[in-house]
Amino acid sequence: MLEELNQFAYDLLWTWQPRIEALFRALEPDLWKSTRENPVLLLTQLGEEGVQRACERQEVRQAFEGAKAAYREYYDRHPRFMDAQAPLGIAYFSLEFGLSECLPIYSGGLGV
C-alpha cells in the first residue's frame, strides 16, 4: 500500500481528484492540515509505521479503494480528443496558475 500511496503523492492528479485527496486526509487529518495538504510531506512525517497503523482503519481502507478506482478511471480512459485529426499541435502556456497551496508555483493573486 505504501508504494501506491507514494505513486499517488507524486502524481498531481490528487490536486483535482477528490477521492485521492480524501485518502491523504483520512490517513491523519490533523497532520494533513499541518503539512498544508502536502501528500509527500504527510507520508514522510507519518513514516512507514504510521502509514501501516493508519491503513488498519476501515475508513482509510475504503478511501484507498476509492483512490485506486479514481486513479484507474483517469488513466484507463480514452478521451474523445485523442481521436481528433488535427494538423497542428496546440499548447497552452500560463505565467500564473495554482494547483494546491503546498505547490508554490503561482505568483500570487490567485487566492489559492
Domain that holds residue 43: 2-79
In a domain? residue 56:
yes
In a domain? residue 50:
yes
In a domain? residue 92:
no
In this prediction, residue 100 carries a pLDDT of: 79
In this prediction, residue 81 carries a pLDDT of: 65
User: How does pLDDT run across 58-108, given as a tens digit for each residue?
Assistant: 999 999 999 999 999 999 987 666 666 666 667 777 766 677 777 766 565
Contact call for residues 30 and 76 (beta carbons, < 8 A): no
Domain count, the chain: 1
In a domain? residue 31:
yes
Q: What is the pTM of this model?
A: 0.79
Q: What percent of the chain has pLDDT over 90?
A: 65
In a domain? residue 18:
yes
- 44 pLDDT above the threshold of 80: yes
